[in-house]
Chains A and B, each alone.
Chain A
């Protein structure tokens, strides 16, 4: 691990130690290492950024700070004293408040009550004093300079207002450290400005703030120091003034790619899917792209950029407000997955267990699920034909199942993914949409799935692949579409796509400070 720490020089200038410090914390879930070396130090009166790719271990680190996860090892100190949180309450009591991207408020309760749940101010006869509660809440909002009506119910509040309410709660709890986990992901420009004004105000009063964001313009605008994580490890901490965006990006993605992914060249044919100006209010906007036969197009971007939503709209699961989807030259009816399947589209969802497979059914049944009409005679499914079809495809895809009759739930993740693929291949599709093809699959099977996808493209199937793993995107795709906040921000050919160019497009607004 390289330690390019450019600012850590022991205790800060005024002689006080850091407000919070976590060193070399590790956390594993079974065989999965979620955090190998979680290290962070937050001082009083600073805003400290934590950056890293998806899966770099930021969320695990935040959950440790919040008392949701207990680290397996490592040193955790608050105000210099060693702490071990058993639960969220311990973390709160130690003065740490975490504000999540989408706060959990009680939708039926008033704003004031959401702030004071479980510790409402009491008035006469030991009963809750609603007026005192509203008054205190108003006072908090006034300090924050944000006009929110404390008497309204929380349901229907914008995400931005919900975050402000969480911050008000944190202040009323006397929080010393405020952790904001991607707070700006769902905010508009004005709302971000307001949030930053509030954050700066709190910093100037001595609160330590940990700010997690993918947007470099915000990080460089707001934060005093930046800590970079990659693959569950601490990489470095810098003073913002001492580094550039390019250096941070390099530290975030710095690793070998290629190698793993045996992409074979395929002949690229005619356009199969053409999406033109697709929009859905609040989800994605003005999405246009094409996928041709034999081509693998990757939709890259951060989690929450709207990639899956676009795919679902294309396949007809979700509605869209404007735009057109044409498939093999003819317009596709919106909101009709059955029509999409009939036309020759297949969709392999991200969450296999919930959406792609019927876990308690046999391998054979799952493979032939999409085929029922073809296999049926006079409305009844022919069992022998079903087994034959299933066997055929399972063999081609090398599904390792004890028997075709075993329940899918008994297979490994990689083999489950193959069953899902088999299910769709049995329909003989011309376009396959695959969402996170290798999520939760072990490394060995990963490359098998990749080889398989590459094979399919070689047979002339158009592939639209959504992936959050940069190496997978760069290794597999003929073309990379990068999405950010519901829009396509870059279209990169295989030749020019590299970790830096994809990350930049995924994290930085067009008019950003690059």
Chain B
């Protein structure tokens, strides 16, 4: 009996030409590509109309504005990739930011590093609550975190009351993190880029990171493969909480006042950043880098519309259109794939 394994032709004969084509194709397939193009165009057009947009101070402002959303978007991506979501990030950030203000006013001599650790641990605890509720109660994350959004905000209100802490209550060195620069980047922006890079490496290059994609791509199949779905999802919530904690501490460094309403409504910007950055809202695909770029695009668009003297009302509408465009592009792409699939199957009948 002749065997297919013995006399097969080398399948790699066409590989060189194929791989060059693949490289180009995969670049065109790159989910981040539209957002990169949009960002470059936006900055270019704004600069041509208003050259003041790209002064050193202008660039620094753009980066500072993007920093906090970038970190939150990185955390949110961990969750959206697994078909989950955390709507309570704004409330978590608020609690940690107010906590940071409180700590500094109570213990002005505490090392700044210790405050970062405390803030992230506090955030991780809040994230763990979300994670536990979602994985143990098997209720969709959308509902659970909508609940904790209000619970955490309520705690913040009860704790802060009418009290606010101002930059003057905090050490100068802490505020300086948002003012001083390294290689032209504000220190907290550098920190955010490092965090995004770390999360990106984790998601692309480790087995647990890849598991997150598998979970979001097909949760049942992931279970069947023996991936510990609940554990991975719980840890993703915990990590997202820690990142929200980090963002809360940075918020206290960057902005003058922290109080009961700090971070209100931020969750929507964060989810929008991820979606605009090409993270599929139904999980399974997208990248942290894309989400971070989405954050930069969203915050930059607001700045550039201001620089172009566009009415505040239109700014929001334009951001909305951007989100819809991103979703439509994504939908059209997946419909095209589905159609291709049906046609290729049709040939089999």
A residues within 8 Å of B by Cβ? Answer: 87-89, 104-109, 113, 117-120, 126-128, 138, 141-147, 149, 151-152, 155-160, 186-188, 191, 197-198, 200-202, 204-205, 281-283, 285, 485-486
Contact = CB atoms under 8 A, between A and B. Distances in A.
A188 B22 CA distance: 27
B5 A128 contact: no
B211 A282 contact: no
B226 A158 contact: no
A88 B349 CA distance: 32
B213 A147 contact: no
Contacts, number: 129
Nearest to B7: A145
A144 to B, nearest CB: 7
Q: Of residues A126, A156, A160, A486, which shows the largest number of chain B Cβ atoms within 10 Å of its Cβ?
A: A156
B210 A200 contact: no
A202 B6 CA distance: 11
B218 A106 contact: yes
A143 B285 CA distance: 30
A128 B214 CA distance: 15
Given A104-B221, A106-B218, A128 B206 contact: yes
In the A-B complex, the 3 residue pairs with the smallest Cβ-Cβ separation, listed nearest first, are A145-B8, A282-B346, A108-B284
Contact of B207 (A120, A156, A281): A120
A107 B22 contact: no
Contacts of B22: 149, 151-152
B225 A117 contact: yes
B345 A186 contact: yes
Nearest to A199: B4
A104 B224 contact: yes
A106 B217 CA distance: 6
B218 A201 contact: no
Interface string B48-82: 00000000000000000000000000000000000
A285 B349 contact: yes
A156 B344 contact: yes
B343 interface: yes
B200 to A, nearest CB: 12
A243 B8 CA distance: 33
A282 B339 CA distance: 12
A128 B207 contact: yes
Contacts of A138: 11-12
B348 A197 contact: no
Given A149-B18, A160-B348, A108 B213 contact: yes
Q: Of residues A105, A205, A281, which shows the largest number of chain B Cβ atoms within 10 Å of its Cβ?
A: A281
B213 A109 contact: yes
B42 to A, nearest CB: 29
Nearest to B282: A108
Given A104-B224, A120-B207, A160-B348, 14 more contacts: A89-B226, A108-B217, A109-B214, A118-B207, A138-B11, A157-B341, A187-B348, A188-B348, A200-B2, A201-B3, A201-B4, A282-B343, A283-B349, A285-B349
Classify the interface of chain B: helix, strand, loop or mixed. helix
A107 B4 contact: no
A145 B5 contact: yes
A282 B1 contact: no
Contacts of A197: 4
B227 interface: yes
Contacts of A143: 5, 8
23 contacts: A88-B224, A105-B221, A106-B218, A108-B285, A109-B213, A109-B284, A113-B210, A117-B225, A120-B210, A128-B204, A144-B4, A145-B11, A151-B22, A156-B341, A158-B348, A188-B347, A188-B348, A188-B349, A191-B348, A204-B1, A281-B343, A282-B342, A282-B348
Contacts of A117: 210-211, 214, 225, 227
Contacts of A188: 347-349
A192 to B, nearest CB: 10
B168 interface: no
Q: Of residues B8, B221, B280, which shows the largest number of chain A Cβ atoms within 10 Å of its Cβ?
A: B8
Interface of B: 1-6, 8-12, 14, 18, 22, 26, 201, 204-207, 210-211, 213-214, 216-218, 220-222, 224-227, 280, 284-285, 337, 340-349
Contacts of A118: 207, 211, 214, 225-227
A149 B216 CA distance: 23
A127 B206 contact: yes
Contacts of A285: 349
B348 A201 contact: no
A401 B226 CA distance: 45
Given A108-B213, A118-B226, A138-B12, A198 B4 contact: yes
Contact of B6 (A87, A156, A159, A201): A201
B4 A200 contact: yes
B8 to A, nearest CB: 3
Contacts of B285: 108
Contacts of A126: 206
Given A118-B207, A485-B349, A88 B1 contact: no
B4 A145 contact: yes
Contacts of A283: 349
Contacts of B222: 106
Contacts of B12: 138, 142
Q: Of residues B18, B225, B280, B348, which shows the largest number of chain A Cβ atoms within 10 Å of its Cβ?
A: B348
Contacts of A147: 11, 14
A352 B206 CA distance: 46
A495 to B, nearest CB: 32
Nearest to A66: B224
A117 B209 CA distance: 11
Contacts of A109: 210, 213-214, 217, 284
Contacts of A152: 22
A197 B225 CA distance: 28
Nearest to A202: B5
Contacts of A200: 1-4
A103 to B, nearest CB: 10
Contacts of B18: 149
A107 B217 contact: yes
A117 B208 CA distance: 10
A450 to B, nearest CB: 33
B8 A142 contact: yes
Nearest to A196: B4
Nearest to A279: B349
Nearest to A282: B346
B284 A107 contact: yes
B129 to A, nearest CB: 29
A316 to B, nearest CB: 20
Given A142-B12, A186-B348, A282-B346, A104 B210 contact: no
